[in-house]
Amino acid sequence: MTQMSKIEWTDVTWNPVAGCTVATAGCTNCYAMRMAARLEAMGVEKYQGLTRKSGDRYVWTGKVVTDDNALSAPLKWRSPRTVFVNSMSDMFHPAVPIDFIAKVWAVMQATPQHTYQVLTKRPEHMREVLSMPEFPILSNVWIGTSVEDSAVLDRIDSLRATPGAIRFISFEPLIGSVAAADLTSIDWAIVGGESGPRARPMPEEWVEEIEDLCREVGTAFFFKQWGGRNKKLTGRTFKGRTYDEMPNVRCVS
Ligand code: SF4
């Protein structure tokens, strides 16, 4: 399924893969898990069996689906788009065959007019895969990892060691201080508090720490949201203004 996105830092989501399993604490209130349950209830074939009810919430079953039919979607978009790849999964989940990732890579290579944002909570596996010769560095593909607290700071090292044109970090949902992070060679940092009924709080101090880290090494700083139960009310103003910085795009060809 492809759809225009409400996410502040992208235009459209593209989901050649659906389904996942939780990795770390940042996954606890996974939006994709809730959305997959909703899509299953609506009868959307691709999402059947991806989640099950557990108490008062839905959780992943562990089933991961690859969707060959979705692969052609970007080839049909005429005007350039910024595309968030796999908002309903994690492309570097161990259940996704490397052959299928190669197909996704081929589509992205064939559509240089689009900019792709690939985000994972499994950057060590991403590093292994993207180090293979069949995965050339593509200047229109940004690779990123999510970092929710200091327990997963090693993801940044894996990202840094991964061949890529642009590297970014999504500090969302930020549920702990990451003041010890090293952002050297990281092009872009997105910061956001958790939203939804079970949102965990994000003190302003944690956001300030990340902005300082960005300024030290020249990483672009994007403040997405404060989050909370009603993210429209809390908004996305930080220190009296919005921060929508984007990375400097380098050409690698
Ligand atoms: S890795 Fe992403 S899609 Fe998978 S459970 Fe965690 S938050 Fe959800």
Per residue in 110-130, pLDDT (tens digit) is: 999 999 999 999 999 999 999
**Residue 23 carries which side chain, given as an amino acid letter?**
A
Q: Would 221 be classed as within a structural domain?
A: yes
Buried b (16+ CB within 10 A) or exposed e, 105-127: bebbeebeebbbbbbbbbbbbbb
Which residue has the CA at smallest separation from atom 3 of ligand 1?
89
Q: Would 148 be classed as within a structural domain?
A: yes
Judged by DSSP in three states, 243 sits in: coil
Q: Would 132 be classed as within a structural domain?
A: yes
Q: Would 24 be classed as within a structural domain?
A: no
Q: Would 88 be classed as within a structural domain?
A: yes
If one counts the domains in the chain, the total is 1
Ligand 1 binding pocket includes 231 (Cβ within 6 Å): no
Judged by DSSP in three states, 77 sits in: coil
Pocket test for ligand 1, best of 30, 198, 200 (most atoms within 8 A of CB): 30
Q: Would 223 be classed as within a structural domain?
A: yes
The confidence band for 3, taking pLDDT boundaries of 50, 70 and 90, is low
Per residue in 131-153, pLDDT (tens digit) is: 999 999 999 999 999 999 999 99
Q: Would 154 be classed as within a structural domain?
A: yes
Q: Which of ligand 1's atoms lies nearest the C-alpha of 120?
A: 1
∠ CA 214-217-219, nearest 5°, is 45
Q: Would 46 be classed as within a structural domain?
A: no
Domain hosting residue 159, numbered range:
10-16+67-234
What is the pTM (predicted TM-score) of this model? 0.95
Distance between CA atoms of 228 and 115, rounded to whole angstroms? 30
Per residue in 157-214, pLDDT (tens digit) is: 999 999 999 999 999 999 999 999 999 999 999 999 999 999 999 999 999 999 999 9
Report the candidate in 180, 186, 174 with the shortest Cα–Cα distance to residue 238: 174
Q: What pLDDT is attached to residue 7?
A: 81
The confidence band for 32, taking pLDDT boundaries of 50, 70 and 90, is very high
Residue 45: is its pLDDT beyond 60? yes
**Residue 40 carries which side chain, given as an amino acid letter?**
E
